[in-house]
Amino acid sequence: MEFKDKVVIVTGGASGMGAATAQGFAEAGARVVIVDRNAELAAQVARETGGQALIGDVSDSRFCAAAVEQTLAQHGQLDVLVNAAGVIVRSRGEDTSDEAWNRIMGVNLNGTFFMCRAAIRAMKPRGGAIVNFGSIWGDLGAVGVAAYCASKGAVHNLTRALALEHATEGIRVNAVCPGEVNTPMLRSERTEPVTPELMARLAATVPMGRLAEPVEIAHMVLFLASEKASYMTGSLVLVDAGFAAR
């Protein structure tokens, strides 16, 4: 999977699976642009990857358009977009506030759409690949994360629709759907202390008996963005250690 002379935007690239993905593209020869709200962590990943950081909120459509425009101005092209930015609120539907609902939809769904829209317009002259971050919870229900499940389900169908709209234009749109991954998000918003015992209980829910590491998801992202996946578009690829197979 070679990305020499390719330009890649990774949203949510400052930590977790986004950072691992950015590292993977850089190691494969790509020029990487990190898009994230966290300026300090984004700058760190940019230094590690030899890339650049653009700081802003993907729920703002104007920022998303500007991020793509700045990438084109700096590099002259955009070959790959990875939408890894995401947030979660752990609450039942009846307890989810308007603010929490709108924030989850704003980042997870709207941000994915805004970035896709801007990227597709930029990719039309030469083609490209988009990899959205879905989730096992986009197709499966779960207690206590209703808004998150809804947002990822919408990302899944957005991926399919965009893939069909641009199937003859050399622009492929797929989604990676991780299971339980050892990231800051997995540990966030917990109502109980995040202890080794808690993490062990989470791992025990997975058929393989362990959490994924971010780099394991990044490997699939790179594959979907590469020419080795040239006949794949509109696909939702589970990377979940068999979680959804039950």
Is 109 part of any domain?
yes
Give the CA angle between residues 128, 133, 139 to the nearest 5°: 125
What is the number of other CB atoms lying within 10 angstroms of the CB of residue 233? 20
> Which residues span the domain enclosing 27?
7-181+213-238
Supply the residues annotated as catalytic.
148
Tokens describing residue 152:
């990822």
Is 192 part of any domain?
no
What is the number of other CB atoms lying within 10 angstroms of the CB of residue 164? 12
**φ, ψ for residue 72, nearest 5 deg:** -65, -40
Is 16 part of any domain?
yes
Provide the angle, in degrees to the nearest 10, between the axes of the packed helices 39-49 and 16-27. Answer: 20
Is 119 part of any domain?
yes
Is 11 part of any domain?
yes
Q: What whole-number distance in Å separates Cα of residue 173 and Cα of residue 128?
A: 9
Is 205 part of any domain?
no
Q: What whole-number distance in Å separates Cα of residue 97 and Cα of residue 100?
A: 5
Residue 190 has pLDDT above 70, yes or no: no
The H or E element spanning position 62 is helix 61-75
Residue 149 has pLDDT above 90, yes or no: yes
What would the pLDDT profile of 27-59 be if each residue is shown by its tens digit?
999 999 999 999 999 999 999 999 999 999 999
Is 231 part of any domain?
yes
Is 197 part of any domain?
no
Please tell me the total count of domains within the chain.
Answer: 1
What is the number of other CB atoms lying within 10 angstroms of the CB of residue 226? 16
* Range 1-10 average pLDDT: 95
What CATH code is carried by the domain that includes residue 39?
3.40.50.720
What would the pLDDT profile of 195-232 be if each residue is shown by its tens digit?
888 889 989 999 999 999 999 999 999 999 999 999 99
What would the pLDDT profile of 75-132 be if each residue is shown by its tens digit?
999 999 999 999 998 899 999 999 999 999 999 999 999 999 999 999 999 999 999 9
> Tell me, what's the pLDDT at 193?
80
- Among 41, 53, 66, 61, which residue's Cα sits nearest to residue 107? 61
Tokens describing residue 111:
């941000």
Tokens describing residue 156:
């899944």
Q: What whole-number distance in Å separates Cα of residue 173 and Cα of residue 165?
A: 10
Question: Global pTM?
Answer: 0.95
| Contact (CB, 8 A) for 1 and 223 | yes
What would the pLDDT profile of 95-110 be if each residue is shown by its tens digit?
999 999 999 999 999 9
